[in-house]
Structures are given as C-alpha cells and as structure tokens.
Structure 1
Amino acid sequence: MHISNKCSIAVHCLIFIFEYGTEKKVTSELLSLSTGCNPVTIRNILSALKKDGIIEVKSGTGGATLAVPLSKISLYRICHAVDPAAIEKMISIHGTPSPFCPVGRNIGTVLSQTYDTLKKDVISSMESVTMEKIIEDYRALLIRQ
C-alpha cells in the first residue's frame, strides 16, 4: 500500500508556496526545480489544488499563493484533490478473481466490510494531519540542521 506520489509532490509545493510565496512569484517552473518534477506535472497538481480552493493562481502573470489557512488544509484534502481515487487504489480488492473458485467468488464480500473500515480509518488519520503540522515539522527540521 502506498499514497500516490502526487500527494507528496503537492505537499512539497504547498510548503514551498507557504515559505516563499510572499517573497517571490512561485511558478510551475520554479516548483519543478524544487521538486525535480516536470513543469507539466506541477501545473496539473497546481490546477487540482486550485480547483479544490487550496491555492490561488494569478491569471496572466502566474504565481501561486495559499487560499486558506494551513489549519484548513488536511493531508486527506490534498491527496483527494490531486488523486481522488488514492484511497481506493491504496485499499482495494483485485478485480479478476475466478468466479469458478469458491474463494474467488466470495473474496469481495469477505473483504469489503474490513476494507471499508480501513478506508475510513486511513481517511480519519489523514484528516488529522494538517499543513500547519507539516510546516511545523519542516521548520523544526531546519532548526536541527
């Protein structure tokens, strides 16, 4: 199981926007240098974050800024914005079990309740982590370096 790397790229971008967005114009090109990702990937992630209302991007000249307080941006909100199917991909039942096998025929039913509980638990955990906490952890790390 893993969380889509789009989520970690989005968090990286949000930290960068928060830390440097008031000093300089944060563009997809600048974020691509920091993340090591293609600018097109960054633009797609920024577009998803903008659509969710997490960031604002100045039309024409560009430049991203946060649109909501850090405490209102949960890890789940970020991941859901950039990869709406992230939880389903993380916790899902394989799609082609044999209908001729008793295990294959019933595995979906057997696991569905347990997996639904796991999904709810993962979402709850991800909602409890905000960008406020992530920025706090980032800054604490900088102090220790």
Structure 2
Amino acid sequence: MTGNSRYTIALHVLTWMALVARRGRDLVTSEQIAGSVNTNPVFLRRVLGPLREAGLVNSQRGSGAGWRLARPAAEITLAQVYHAMADQPLFPMHHGEPNPNCPVGHGIRPALAPLYRAAEDALTRQLAGTTIKDLLADTLRQHAAS
C-alpha cells in the first residue's frame, strides 16, 4: 500500500509561504513554490486548489499573479490543512460490500467504524495543537542544527 504525500506537500507549501511572508514578500508563484518542494508547478496547483477552497490560501490572477496565505501562519492549524487535503477517510472501508452471509463480512464494518473514528479524532486533536507558525519554527531549528 502506498501513501499519499499531498498532505505533507501542503504542509511544506504553507510553511514555505509563511517563511516568505515573514521575510516581507507574501505573493509567490506556483513555480517559486515548486522550487522549494522540488516538484512540478502543475502538480503543485492541484495541491493549492483544496487549500484555497478551505480558505487557507488566496490566489491572485492577472498581472502579478500568485499565491499568498489567507491568514497569519499562527492561525492555520495542521488539523485544518489535514481536513482540506483529506479526500477520503484516514482508514477507508472496503470498496465493495463484504459478504453479509459471512460472520466477519457481516460484522467487520460496524466493529471497525468506532475504532477508525476514534483514531481519526485523536489525530485531529493532535494536529490541532500545532500551527504553521510552529512548524516553521521547528523547521528552522532543524535547519540551524544541521
């Protein structure tokens, strides 16, 4: 099973945008952001879209086009980013309906649902305690330590 890195990339993007804003420049292009992430700007725009829909970034079209944080980095939690990027549950159920005549097939979903919900709630609570500003500070500490 492979993981989806869109959440991590979204955190990278927002943290980089916070650094740029802290340095006095808040409007950046997807090409500039892609340079930090080391990815294709087209892919990056697919990450920025859900962030814009969630009200975490704004885009400006036309002359001087670019992206900026929609609010201060101290007001964007990692939980908000998680919810913006989650296109499916953390632990999705079967794609098809299990065999209802099988004791496991009949009971697996109702048995797993509360466990999955509790795990996702715990994750969300953990992520809600950290902001993009916090992540930037931790990132810069890591950079300085190396």
User: TM-score, normalised on structure 1?
Assistant: 0.84
Tell me which amino acid in the other structure corresponds to 1:137.
D
CA distance in 2, matches of 1:26, 1:38: 15
CA distance in 2, matches of 1:121, 1:3: 20
Gaps of 5+ in 2: none
Partner of 1:74: 77
Tell me which amino acid in the other structure corresponds to 1:121.
A
CA distance in 2, matches of 1:8, 1:134: 12
Q: CA deviation at 1:51?
A: 2.1
Distance 1:25 1:73, change over 3 A: closer
Alignment of 1:6-17 (within 5 A): 6-17=6-17
Please say if residues 4 and 83 of structure 1, whose CA atoms lie closer than 8 Å, have aligned partners that are also in contact. Answer: no
Equivalent pairs, count: 142
Q: CA deviation at 1:93?
A: 2.6
2:116 matches 1:104? no
2:57 matches 1:62? no
Alignment of 1:1-145 (within 5 A): 4-21=4-21, 22-23=24-25, 25-60=27-62, 61-85=64-88, 88=89, 90-96=90-96, 97-145=98-146
Gaps of 5+ in 1: none
Please say if residues 32 and 38 of structure 1, whose CA atoms lie closer than 8 Å, have aligned partners that are also in contact. Answer: yes
CA distance in 2, matches of 1:76, 1:131: 10
1:90-134 CA deviation, whole Å, 9 max, x = no partner? Answer: 223324422221111111111222222112111111212211210
CA distance in 2, matches of 1:62, 1:29: 11
Please say if residues 58 and 64 of structure 1, whose CA atoms lie closer than 8 Å, have aligned partners that are also in contact. Answer: yes
Please say if residues 18 and 133 of structure 2, whose CA atoms lie closer than 8 Å, have aligned partners that are also in contact. Answer: no
Name the stretch that deviates more: 22-31 or 10-19.
22-31
Equivalent position SS for 2:111: helix
